[in-house]
Amino acid sequence: EAAPATAGGAAEMTLEDFLAREDGAVVRGAEEQVAMPTMALLGGAEGARGGGRGRKRQLMDPMDRAAMQRQKRMIKNRESAARSRERKQAYIAELESLVTQLEEENAHLSKEQV
C-alpha cells in the first residue's frame, strides 16, 4: 500500500510502518524463540530423510499470532478512523464555505431589492 502524500509533497509514514520499524527486532526475536523449539521437535535434520524440499516453515505460537493479528487490526482501525476524521473535516470546511457564499449572495440580493 502506497503512503499518501502530504500537502508538502513528503510521504507520510503509517502507524503500522512506524510500529513495524520500532518493534521489528522485538517481534523477530519472539518469532525466533518460538521457532527454535519447534525445529528441535522436528528433528532438525530435514535433509537427512531425503525430502530435500528446503526449510520447513517456522511455526508461530497461536497466542503470539493472535496478538499480532489483533495489533494489525487495531492499527488498521486507527488509520481508517483518522482518514474518516479527515474526510469529515474536509466536508465541514466545504459546507462552511458554501454557507459563507450563500450568505454573501443573500446579502447582495437583499441590497438589490431595496
DSSP calls for 52-71 = -S-PPPPP--HHHHHHHHHH
Query: How far apart are alpha carbons 42 and 21 in whole angstroms?
Result: 32
What pLDDT was estimated at residue 40? 47
What pTM was computed for the model?
0.45
What pLDDT was estimated at residue 24? 57
Per-residue pLDDT of 49-104, as tens digits, reads 555 676 666 677 888 999 999 999 999 999 999 999 999 999 999 999 999 999 99
Cell of 100: 459563507
Assigned domain for 4 exists? no
Query: How far apart are alpha carbons 111 and 99 in whole angstroms?
Result: 18
Assigned domain for 22 exists? yes
Number of domains in the chain: 1
Query: How far apart are alpha carbons 64 and 56 in whole angstroms?
Result: 19
Per-residue pLDDT of 5-17, as tens digits, reads 444 545 666 766 7
Assigned domain for 31 exists? yes
Query: How far apart are alpha carbons 18 and 24 in whole angstroms?
Result: 10
| Domain membership of residue 69 as a residue range | 15-41+56-113
What pLDDT was estimated at residue 57? 66
**How far from the centroid of its chain's Cα atoms is residue 3's Cα?**
10
Assigned domain for 9 exists? no
What pLDDT was estimated at residue 52? 63
